[in-house]
Structure 1
Amino acid sequence: MLDPLPDWAPSLTASAVALLVVDLVVRLTAIAVVPVNRRPSSALAWLLAIFFIPYLGVLAFLLIGNPKLPRARRRKQREINQLILDSTRGLDQVSTCASWPPWLPGIVELNRNLGSMSLVGGNTAELFGEYDESIRAMARTVDTAATYVHVEFYIMTLDPTSAPFFEALRRAAQRGVRVRVLLDHLGAIRYPGYRRTIRFLEGAGIEWHPMLPVQLHKLKYQRPDLRNHRKLLVVDGDVAWIGSQNVLDRSYNKRANIRRGLQWQDLMVRLEGPVVSGVDAIFTTDWYSETDELLESERPEVSPGKTPGRLECQVVPSGPGFEGENNLKLFNALLYSAQRRISITSPYFVPDESMLNAITTAAERGVEVELFVSEHGDQALVHYAECSYYENLLRAGVRIHRYPAPYVLHAKHMTVDEDVAVIGSSNMDMRSFLLDMELTLMVCGRDFVADLRRVEDGYRERCTELTLQQWMARGRGHVIKENLARLTSALQ
C-alpha cells in the first residue's frame, strides 16, 4: 500500500502548475508582442532571451524593449517637422542642381520626406581634423557672436583642453549675447567634471538644459539608453559646426583610457551659407523638446544673393523621435547608387542586415569599397560585434583599414564616387540607427569630396590593411567573443 501524500504536496503541485501556466502565458504573449514593428533579427534575439532566461529577459524587455521616445516627444517632433517644412520651402530655389549624378535627385527627395530638410546651395565647408585646434577654432567662432550662440553636444566637460571654448561662451554671455547650451544628461554625467561644468555655466549666466534627462523621481520613465548624440554649434545663424567631436579632452578624462593611452581622433566641419539655418533648426527642435520654448523668431531669413559658396548641402536628422531610420535609409540609398568608389569611416561599425547586404553587393558589382575602423576599440562588446562582420566583408572584396592604437578613430563620414559625401555624428551601427538622435550632413560638391578624400588618404597612410588570410588565423576564443557580442547587438 502506498504511503499517503504529505500535507504540503497538493500546495506544491498547485504552485508548480501555476508557474507552468504563467510561463506559458509569458511565452505566448512574447510571441504575439515582441515581433510587432521590429526587424526579424531583433525580434528573434529578444524571444531567445525571454525563452531561455524568462524573468531577466522579460524585465530587460520592459525596461529597454521600446526603441521609441515617449509619445509627447514624438508629437513635438512632428509639430516642428511641419514648421520646418512650412518655413524652408523657399530654400529649394537656392539650389543650382548643377552636374548632379542621375541618382542624386531621388536621394534628395528621400531625405526631404524623412527629415523635412531641403537641399540648399551656396555653402562653404572647411574640415578640421586636429582635435585641440577644432576646439580653439570653435572658440574663435563664438568670439564673433553678436546675437546668439547655440551649443549642443552629447558630452561637454570643462577641462584644460575645452577651457578655451567655455571661456569664449562666458565672454559672449558677458557682452550680452544670448547663449543656450544643451548637453545629453547621461552622456555628460558619466564623465569626470560634470558638476564643475554645470557650476561654470550657471556662474557665467548661460542658460543650459540636459537632453533626455532620466527623471525617475518624477515618475517619468523612458528608455534610458535613448540618447541625443548630436554635436553642433551655431553662431548668429551665420556659421555652424557639426561633426563627431565632443567638447572635452581627447582622452575623455577616464582613468582606464589614460592608462591605455587612448586618444580620440575626430573630424569637424565649419559651415557657412543657407545650410546653417538647417543646422539651427535641429537645435530649435531639441530646445523645444526640452523646454517647450520655440525659438522660431531667431531663425534667419535666407537670401540667395548672400550665399558665400558653391556646395549643395542637406541636413538629415534621425533618431527615435522619427518614424523611420532616416540615417540608415540615406546610407543604404548611397551604397546602392555608387558606381565607382565608396569610402566609409566609422568607429563603431555594426550594420544591420540591410546595410551589410548593401555594402557587400556594392563590392560584388565592382565598386571599390573600403572601410576605415580602429585597430582596438574603446568598448569591448561593440568592438567584438564589429569584428564579427569582417569575414563577410573581406570575402565580398571590401578592403578594411585599421587605424593604429592608441588612437580611437572616432570620425564618421562616407564619400561616394566623386560627387557626394556625408559627415556628422552618426555611427554605422544599430544604436545610431535606432536609439540615438543623430545629425548627418549630405554634401554635393566635388571640391568637398576631394577634401574629404585627402583626409581618408591620411588615414590610409597610417592604417594597416587587414587581409582575409590574416583574419582567418585569429583564435577560436576571439570567434566566440564575436558571436556572443553580435547576438547582444541585436537586442534593440
Structure 2
Amino acid sequence: MWDDLHSAWSFITPDGFGFSFLGTLVTEGMAWWAWMLVALDYSLKIIALGYVPSQRKPTSAMAWLLAIFLMPFVGIILFMLIGSPYINRRRHHIQNRANELIRTVSRDEPDVPEGHTLTPEQRSLVSLNRRLTAMPATTGTVVDVHSDYNASIRRMAEAVDTADHYVNVQIYITAWDSTTDVFFRALERAVDRGVTVRLMFDHVGSWKYPGYRTLGRRLDAIGVRWLVMLPLQPWRWRFRRPDLRNHRKLVVIDGHTGFMGSQNMIDSSYLMKANVREGRHWIDNMVEVTGPVVTMLNSVFAVDWFTECGEELPLLTPSESAEWLDNGPKGNSPDAVPDPGSDMLQIVPSGPGFTTEPNLRLFSSVVHHAKSHLILVSPYFIPDESLLEAITTAAYRGVEVELFVSERADQNLVEHAQSSYYAELLSAGIRILRYPYPAVLHSKFMIADNEVVCTGSSNMDMRSFGLNYEITLMSVEGTLLHRMKDLAAEYREASVELTAEEWDRRPRLRRYVDNVARLSSALQ
C-alpha cells in the first residue's frame, strides 16, 4: 500500500507535474484508490483553470494557479479558505442597501458643496468617489492633524469628555493598557454622565495582544456597548474568509466632532516584549474634524454597527447635519456648537462590500492627477499593476515622486514583498525615503502637487484594496493639505534616502526571498 501511495504522490508532485512517473505507474500497476486520487487531482486542476481567473486580476489568478498546481490538494484547500475576497451575501446585501439609502437621502446634494470652485480634474475625483461609494463631498473644519502618538490618544479622551449624547468608536486594534487607559477612563466617565458609548474592534486583529481575554469584561464593567467586527466563531456558525479585516479607525462624538486616521488604540510598542526591548514604536497620525463631514464619518460607523448587531442608528444628510450644527443638540447652547467650516472634504469607504475597489481607483486617479510633485506614505507598499504603472509613469513624465516607508517593516513577509518593488521604482527615478529603525512609519497618505490629499486607514497594498474595510478622507487645496505637507516635511527630515547603488549591492539570497514574497502577496 505504501509503495502505491508513494508512487501516486510522486505522480502529482511538482517534478514535471508528475509526467515522468506515468510510465512507471502504468507498467507496475496501481491500486484503484491511487488512480482515483490522481484523477481527482487533475480534475480539480482542470476546473481551477477555468474558475480561478474569473473576475480576478491576472497576477492574482496566476499566483493561485501556481499554488494549486505545485501544492496538490493543499493549494485547493487554501483557495477555498482565502481565495475569494467576497464576504457572505448578508454583509454584501447590507452594504448595497446602505449605499442606496445614502444615495436616496443625499440625492439633492451636489457633488461639490456650494461656494467651492474645483478644477475639472478635482471635480472628476469627487464624482468618481461618489459614483463608487454614494458619498458626496461636504464641508468641515480640520481642527488638527495629531502626529504625537500619546498626545493623540489624550486628545481623543478630552473630546470624549465633552460628549452629552453619544460616542461611537471603531478602531481595528484595541487594547486597554497603561497608554490607552486615559481614553477608556474618559469612556467610563461618559457612561456615568448618561452618554451612550459604542465601541467596535476587529476580532482577529485584536485577539493576539495582551489583555484581550479580559477586555470584554472590563468594557462591560464600565457600561460600554461593544462588538467585535468580522467575528471568526465557527462554533457559533459565524464563519467567513479568515483573513478579512475591518481596518477602519474612527471616533465620533455627538455627531459634530470626529477623528480618523491610521492609529490603533494600543500602546505604541504594541505591547510586544521584543518591541519594548528594541525600542520599536509606531508613528501615526489622526485627523480631527468638525462640521457636516462628521455625519458622513458617522454613517460609516452606523453601517458597520448594523452589520454586526442589526441595530439601526440614524443617518443624516449633509443638509440635516448643517441644520443640526446651526441649531445645536438638545441640552446644548448654539454657542457651543462647532463652526461647520469651509474646507471641502469627502469620506471614501472601501472594502469587500464594494466590488469596485474605491480606494485603489482613487489612489490611481490622484497619481495620474499629479503634474509636478507626488508624495506617497505607506507602511505597506505592495501595489497592484495599475497603481505601480501609474506611479512609475508619473516619474517618467517628469513628476518628482517621493515614497516614504519604514527602514524595516514590522512583518517579515511584507518587508520582503515591498522590497521586491524597489529596483523598479528606483530605475524610474522615484526617491525612496526610509524612516529609520526602530520606528515603524505607520501613517498613510498621498499628496498630489498643491491640489489633492488623501489620508486614512488604507495602505497602498493589495490587502487594503481587496480584503480590508478601510476609510479614506480626501480634500483639495485646504487646511488638511497644508497640515499633511508639513507632516511629510517632518518625515523627510528624519528619513534616509535609499540609492540605486546601495540597493544593487543587496545579497542574492535577499533578492530571491523578495521575489518569492512578491509572488505570495498576489494571493488575493
Scaled by the length of structure 2, the TM-score of the pair is 0.90
CA distance in 2 between counterparts of 1:183 and 1:35 reads: 33
- CA 1:107–1:97: 2 relative to 1, 3 Å: farther
Contact persistence 1:243–1:425 (CA under 8 A)? yes
Specify the alignment match of 1:174 in structure 2.
192
CA distance 1:84–1:373, change in 2 (3 Å): same
Instruction: Report the residue type matching 2:481 in the other structure.
Output: V
Change (3 A) 1:367 1:99: farther
Measure the CA separation in 1 of the matches of 2:316 and 2:485.
36
Partner of 2:361: 329
Q: Deviations over 1:282-337 (max 9, x none)?
A: 00010010011110268882227845322100000000011111100000011111
CA contact (8 A) 1:92 1:120 kept: no
Per-residue CA distance 1:37-59 (angstroms, 9 max, x = gap): 11000000000011011121011
Asked whether the 8 Å contact 2:302–2:315 carries over to 1, the reply is no
Question: What residue in structure 2 maps to residue 4 of structure 1?
Answer: none
Give the letter aligned to residue 176 of structure 1. Answer: G
The 3-state SS of whatever aligns with 1:103 is helix
Equivalent-residue separation in structure 2 for 1:93 and 1:236 (angstroms): 25
After superposition, what is the alpha-carbon deviation per residue over 1:163-204, rounded to whole angstroms, capped at 9, x for unaligned?
010000000001100101111111111111112322221001
RMSD of aligned Cα (Å):
1.7
The answer to whether residue 393 in structure 2 is matched with residue 361 in structure 1 is: yes
Secondary structure of 2:371 counterpart: coil
* Paired position in structure 2 for 1:192: 210
- The aligned residue for residue 466 of structure 1 is 498
**Contact conserved, 2:145 with 2:286, CA < 8 A, in 1?**
yes
**How many residues get paired?**
484
Partner of 2:17: none
Q: Of 11, 31, 43, which residue of structure 2 is paired with 1:25?
A: 43
Cα deviation, residue 350, structure 1? 0.4
Does residue 268 of structure 2 align to residue 254 of structure 1? no
Instruction: Tell me, in whole angstroms, the C-alpha distance in 1 between the residues paired with 2:28 and 2:370.
Output: 70
Give 2:14's aligned residue.
none
* Contact 2:144–2:287 under 8 Å retained in 1: yes
Q: Percent identity?
A: 46
**Matches of residues 56-95 of structure 1 in structure 2 within 5 Å?**
56-92=74-110, 95=113
The corresponding residue for 2:441 is 409
2:408 is equivalent to residue 389 of structure 1: no
**2-side partners of 1:184 and 1:454: how far apart?**
31
One-letter amino acid of the structure 2 residue matched with residue 438 of structure 1? E
Question: Which of these residues, 132, 138, 144, is aligned with residue 120 of structure 1?
Answer: 138
Q: Which residue in 2 is equivalent to 1:372?
A: 404
Cα contact 1:243–1:424 (8 A) shared by 2: yes
Give the one of 281, 284, 287 matched to 1:269. Answer: 287
Sort the Cα spacing of 1:298 and 1:367 in 2 relative to 1 into closer, same or farther, 3 A: closer
Q: Is 2:235 the counterpart of 1:203? A: no
Q: Residue 106 of structure 2: SS of its match in structure 1?
A: helix
**Alignment-derived partner of residue 302 in structure 1:** 321
Question: Is the alpha carbon distance of 1:378 and 1:119 closer, same or farther for their aligned partners in structure 2, counting shifts above 3 Å?
Answer: same
Give the Å deviation of 1:32: 1.3
Report the CA distance between 1:265 and its aligned residue.
0.3
1:147 and 1:92 mapped to 2: Cα distance?
30
Shift of 1:256: 2.5
Identify the residue that residue 6 of structure 1 maps to in structure 2.
none
Please say if residues 124 and 273 of structure 1, whose CA atoms lie closer than 8 Å, have aligned partners that are also in contact: no
| Aligned residue identity for 2:355 | E
In structure 2, do the counterparts of structure 1 residues 314 and 299 end up closer, same or farther at CA, with 3 Å as the change threshold? closer
After TM superposition, the structure 1 stretch with the greater mean CA deviation from structure 2, 257-266 or 128-137, is 257-266
Distance 2:118 2:467 in 1: 33
CA–CA distance in 1 between the matches of 2:102 and 2:407? 41
1:286 aligns with 2:310: no
Correspondence for 1:139: 157
Q: 2 CA distance for matches of 1:191 and 1:393?
A: 35
Please, which runs of 5 or more residues in structure 2 have no aligned partner?
A: 1-26, 327-338
Q: Any idea what the Cα deviations from partners look like across 1:408-441, whole Å, max 9, x if unmatched?
A: 0000011111011101000000000010000000
CA deviation after TM superposition for structure 1 residue 69, in Å: 0.8
Q: Is the 8 A contact 1:327 1:426 kept in 2?
A: yes
1:98-152, Cα deviation, whole Å (9 max, x unpaired): 3423201111111001111010124334100000000000000000000100000
Partner Cα distance (1:384, 1:57) in 2: 22
Matched AA of 2:520 = T
TM-score, normalising length from structure 1? 0.95
Q: Unaligned regions of 5+ residues in structure 1, if any?
A: 1-8
Q: Deviation at 1:92?
A: 3.1
TM-superposed CA distance for 1:97, in Å, is 5.5
- Distance in 2 separating the partners of 1:309 and 1:124: 8
Change (3 A) 1:479 1:95: same
C-alpha contact (below 8 Å) 2:299/2:315 kept by paired residues: no
